[in-house]
Structure 1
């Protein structure tokens, strides 16, 4: 239903169209033009023309023609006025209808946009729910207070370590590179891929450079011949690289969790 303000605007527009018609169609021109012509044609001109025609006929024919005296007919004026009113009314109706249809189109378009917006919000909520469940699974497999994340944060790989500290990292690398583990949120999925790549790189590097101590489960990245001695430069460089990868993994993990909580509002 139109509001009071809209009704007021429509009323003003109707009065303006009546007083200052724009004659936007041929039918209005034709009807109003006929009415104006009827009003402006003088009765005297009609009488003179008719009498001239009768005199001409009487001169040229034996039989004499005669017509009732032509008199002024006020009905012509009424018809002319009615034609003008009808034309103006038609013009007003056409413009009013066009304006109403344009307004109706805007209302329909607005309702369509509102519906699309509501559907978009609904889809976003559904996707957010799916991503929330996936995040819960990730934090179960790779908890922030778990042994692997604490290992990445605190351990210096110049010292020995228990291989079980890597269990959560290995599980994440093994299980979290498939389509079922992809987030629907684009930014979050991009960060998950970066996280997986960093963990995979660190896990592979560590596996190639760690040696078991007496058959495990303890491991060390220092070869037996240099253990308990000053390390040569290539060993020092290897330890620095592994520590840098460990720190990078922890940083990316922290950024991922913060981004996930912000994006999924958890």
Structure 2
């Protein structure tokens, strides 16, 4: 079902995500932690930290801004909103990431289908048991031969130089270029 390279790429992606999470995942966890802090930390500690941050800002900013001290409240809406926003962002990010992976997989499948059809066309145009291939394999070109037997090779030479006759898969492309270079070299002599 899946090739070894696809399995290896999948495992590599999982390991990379585990040890090196992407920025949005880190950001989501920071926002969830901040929101949970707003919800779970007692009010006096929150007030102390926020007032301390205001004083640090006033001392380090060099500005003469006087920010008011925060007062106690029992409103947890900020924390709930932060947690909800972070989780909905993470779900949306994962959804669109999954949609992107599905789209890329479909594109690769279409490319494979296109390469498969082109390979079938190649095997129809120049099968390994055609007269030209047998002549190339078995004949000593120091002797005379029937030029008609090279008809399929000549047709392949003229037809497979077009842009529509190139594979997408790098390995197939390399082999196709090697084959067409050899045919071009033979036919141009």
For the superposition of Structure 1 and Structure 2, which TM-score range results when normalised by the shorter chain?
A: 0.5 to 0.7
Unaligned runs of 5+ in 1: 1-8, 33-86, 206-266
Partner of 1:107: 91
Contact 1:131–1:184, Cα closer than 8 Å, also in 2: yes
- TM alignment of 1:70-219, pairs within 5 A: 87=73, 89-90=74-75, 92-205=76-189
1:190 and 1:127 map into 2 onto residues whose CA distance is: 16
1:154 and 1:170 map into 2 onto residues whose CA distance is: 18
> Structure 1, residues 229-264: CA drift from partner, whole Å, max 9, x if none?
xxxxxxxxxxxxxxxxxxxxxxxxxxxxxxxxxxxx
Tell me the CA shift for residue 118 of structure 1. 0.5
Q: Say which SS state the counterpart of residue 114 (structure 1) adopts.
A: helix
Bigger Cα Rg: 1
Q: Does 1:31 align with 2:109?
A: no
Q: TM-score, normalised by structure 1?
A: 0.45
2:143 and 2:166 map into 1 onto residues whose CA distance is: 36
Change (3 A) 1:25 1:168: farther
Contact 1:142–1:168, Cα closer than 8 Å, also in 2: yes
**Worse overlay, 127-136 or 190-199:** 190-199
Change (3 A) 1:154 1:25: farther
Equivalenced residue count is 137
Tell me the CA shift for residue 173 of structure 1. 0.4
Q: TM-score, normalised by structure 2?
A: 0.60
Tell me the CA shift for residue 129 of structure 1. 1.5
1:154 and 1:100 map into 2 onto residues whose CA distance is: 74
1:119 and 1:104 map into 2 onto residues whose CA distance is: 22
Aligned alpha-carbon RMSD (Å): 2.9
